[in-house]
C-alpha cells in the first residue's frame, strides 16, 4: 500500500484537479455530498439514532465501494482513486489565489477567501482575509491530505473512501444547527475520532516544515485551548511557524463569536506575504509526508 500511496501523492501533486475532467464528470466528493444530502432528506427527523443509521449506511457504502475497486486487477485504480481523493495541489492553489487576490484589493480577497472558508466574509478586513486563508491551509492540510493519506496507508481504498465520506458528512450535517444538532452528532463525533491522529501528525509535519523551531510545548497548549479537538493542532503549528495569531473572533450567519486567538502573542495583522509563506509550508510538510511514506516502503 505504501507504493500506491507514494504514486497517488505524486500524481495529485502533478495534476491536481483537472478542470477538463471534473467539468464533464461529477467529482467523487460531489457524489458523496449527494449521498449525504439524500440521507439527510430521507432519515432526518431530529433524532440522534437516525443520524447514527445514516452514518452507518454511508460508511458501509464507502467501504463496499472501496473493496470493489481494490479487487480490480493491478494498482491503477488504487493510485488514481487515491490521487483524486487527495487535495495537496488544489489546496495550495486555492490558498495562493487568496494572496494574489488580496494584493489586487480587499474586495477580490474577500471573494477569493469565500471559496475556502465557511464564515461570513463581507465585513472582513485584510488581516481577517489572510487569517482565513492561513487557517484553511492548516486545517485542510490535515483534513484533505494527511488524514486521507494515513487512512489509505492503514486500510487502502476502503479506508480513504470511508474517511472522505465521513469528513464530507461532517462538513454538511456536523454543525450544531437546529436541524442537525441531533442528526449530525454521529457524523461529527466519528469525524473527530478519525482525525485524532492525523491532526497531531499534521502538527508534527508543519513543525518539521518550519525547521523545528522551539516552543512546541506552547503550541501544543494553544492547540488544546482551540474550540475544535483536532483543528487546533495544525493551526497552532502554522501560527507559531509564521509568528502570527490565528483563530480569534469571526462571524457565522451574521452572528459574531468571540473565540480566543491561537498564539495570541503573534502578529495580529498578517497579509499576502504570510499567505505565501503558508503555501510554502504546505509543500514542505507534503515533502516530509512523502519522505515518510518512502521510508515506510523501504522498511516494510
Other C-beta atoms within 10 Å of 70: how many?
Answer: 18
CA distances in angstroms from 131 to 172, 235, 242, 267, 275, listed in the order given: 23, 10, 11, 11, 8
Q: Which structural domain, as residue segments, surrounds residue 18?
A: 2-299
Integer-rounded Cα Rg, in Å, for the chain is 19
Query: Do residues 158 and 66 lie in contact, with contact meaning Cβ atoms separated by under 8 Å?
Result: yes
pLDDT score, position 94: 96
3-class SS shares of the chain: helix, strand, coil, % to 5: 70, 5, 25
Distance CA 148, CA 8 (A): 11
Q: Grid cell 481577517 — which residue?
A: 128
pLDDT score, position 217: 84
What total of structural domains would you count in the chain? 1
pLDDT in tens, the chain (300 residues): 789 999 999 999 999 988 887 788 888 999 999 999 999 999 999 999 999 999 999 999 999 999 999 999 888 999 999 999 999 999 999 999 999 999 999 999 999 999 999 888 888 999 999 999 999 999 999 999 999 999 999 999 999 999 999 999 999 999 878 899 999 999 999 999 999 999 999 999 999 999 877 778 888 888 888 888 899 999 999 999 999 999 888 877 777 887 888 898 999 999 999 999 999 999 999 999 999 999 988 887
Predicted TM-score of the model (pTM): 0.94
pLDDT score, position 290: 97
Distance CA 32, CA 189 (A): 18
Amino acid at each position: 500500500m505504501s507504493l500506491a500511496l507514494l504514486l497517488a501523492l505524486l500524481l495529485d501533486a502533478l495534476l491536481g484537479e483537472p478542470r477538463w475532467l471534473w467539468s464533464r464528470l461529477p467529482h467523487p466528493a460531489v457524489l458523496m455530498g449527494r449521498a449525504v444530502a439524500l440521507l439527510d432528506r430521507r432519515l432526518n427527523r431530529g433524532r440522534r439514532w437516525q443520524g447514527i443509521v445514516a452514518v452507518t449506511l454511508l460508511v458501509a457504502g464507502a467501504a463496499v465501494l472501496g473493496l470493489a475497486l481494490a479487487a480490480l486487477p493491478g494498482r491503477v485504480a488504487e493510485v488514481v482513486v487515491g490521487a483524486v481523493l487527495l487535495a495537496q495541489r488544489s489546496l495550495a492553489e486555492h490558498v495562493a489565489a487568496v494572496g494574489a487576490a488580496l494584493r489586487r484589493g480587499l474586495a477580490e480577497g474577500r471573494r477569493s477567501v469565500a471559496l475556502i472558508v465557511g464564515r461570513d466574509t463581507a465585513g472582513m478586513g485584510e488581516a481577517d482575509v489572510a487569517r482565513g486563508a492561513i487557517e484553511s491551509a492548516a486545517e485542510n492540510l490535515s483534513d484533505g491530505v494527511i488524514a486521507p493519506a494515513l487512512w489509505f496507508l492503514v486500510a487502502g481504498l476502503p479506508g480513504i473512501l470511508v474517511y472522505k465520506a465521513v469528513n464530507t458528512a461532517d462538513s454538511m450535517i456536523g454543525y450544531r444547527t437546529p436541524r442537525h444538532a441531533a442528526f449530525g452528532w454521529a457524523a461529527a463525533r466519528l469525524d473527530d475520532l478519525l482525525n485524532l491522529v492525523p491532526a497531531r501528525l499534521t502538527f508534527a509535519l508543519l513543525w518539521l516544515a518550519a525547521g523545528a523551531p522551539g516552543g512546541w510545548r506552547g503550541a501544543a497548549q494553544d492547540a488544546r485551548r482551540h474550540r475544535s479537538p483536532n483543528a487546533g493542532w495544525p493551526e497552532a503549528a502554522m501560527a507559531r511557524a509564521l509568528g502570527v495569531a490565528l483563530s480569534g473572533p469571526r462571524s457565522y450567519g451574521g452572528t459574531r463569536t468571540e473565540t480566543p486567538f491561537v498564539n495570541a502573542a503573534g502578529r495580529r495583522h498578517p497579509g499576502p506575504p504570510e499567505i505565501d509563506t503558508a503555501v510554502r509550508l504546505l509543500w514542505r510538510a507534503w515533502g516530509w509526508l512523502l519522505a515518510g511514506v518512502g521510508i515506510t516502503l523501504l522498511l516494510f
